Copies of this chain bind each other. A is one copy, B any other.
């Protein structure tokens, strides 16, 4: 609306004066100066390609769809709070929103890892099936309610790569004593195979690998790995990323702040997250394949498959590691059982659909 129009019609008044708080809040910010401003803290370096830019996109979409009634300012890790304090910051209300991944908060509950990714678990497409039509989202909401948080699925990298190695992996024995940066459940699986998992922030991977402080590292996939130059520090690039087959990222919303929004803005926040949830996957799908081409053709990277025997053993170890989470508490058991049931069904179905098709296409 132009200022002139506003002045002309200002005598008309507005319908909703006797409405409820909800409908009052639906009134346009454009007609008043009451715009809502939120802060979003993230676990990513500011503008980090894919992950950080996904958080930026979320903020942009909310502003666009709300016609500026709700604007969200994005903060990179450490700008307002350190990466691993995002959950608590949003829970406590220091920021209204956050962007990260549920498995970072496994200190609160091991079962949160199911909402991101578990070794040999669901792919991106399957995660969406479980979350939105398999009961996963309801469990996620229930699990976060005690923390005054509304979780939203908000981004996915697709199947990650196995990682960069300076040692060949020809049998499960080659994992013995291997010092590898691999956090979370994947790390626990490596440990049970005799390796030594270490956790390092992304920015330290190159130096640690180059100097020989670690023998191997996983990161994300060709698009992000190329940007970090990891091919200059390692001999082999292994696939597939059995430990993170389609991690779902999350947007967090402070529940009290969310509940105070009018219904239309609540819907806008929820749906903006859904758009980013899939837009990021599309971006990785396109950019990973272009980056892989560069890695192979330009930088002559030696791309290798984990031997089937190694994958089979890692899969067995993963089953135990994942199943143990169910024993932690009642809620964890419920989440594990829901996930497991969906996984068993979808593995059977995808054997004759996605998997069979991809194979048929490359005969």
Which residues of A are interface residues toward B (Cβ below 8 A)? 1-3, 5-21, 23-32, 34, 61, 64-68, 120, 123-126, 128-134, 158-161, 221-222, 239-242, 245, 262-264, 267-268, 271-272, 274-275, 277-279, 281-283, 285-290, 292-293, 303, 305-306, 308, 311-312, 315, 342, 345-363
Contact = CB atoms under 8 A, between A and B. Distances in A.
Number of copies: 2
B13 A13 contact: yes
A267 B5 contact: no
Contacts of A308: 360, 363
Given A19-B5, A30-B23, A123-B358, A64 B264 contact: yes
Q: Report the 9 A-B pairs with minimum CB-CB distance, sorted nearest first.
A: A129-B285, A133-B286, A67-B264, A289-B349, A10-B13, A128-B282, A5-B19, A240-B357, A1-B34
Given A345-B289, A347-B361, A283 B133 contact: yes
Given A13-B11, A277-B278, A5 B21 contact: no
Contacts of A312: 363
A126 B285 CA distance: 7
Contacts of A354: 123, 158-159, 354, 358
Given A1-B27, A16-B31, 14 more contacts: A1-B26, A2-B21, A9-B17, A12-B31, A12-B32, A15-B31, A65-B271, A128-B281, A128-B282, A129-B282, A242-B357, A242-B361, A278-B278, A286-B342
5 contacts: A9-B18, A10-B12, A65-B65, A67-B262, A133-B287
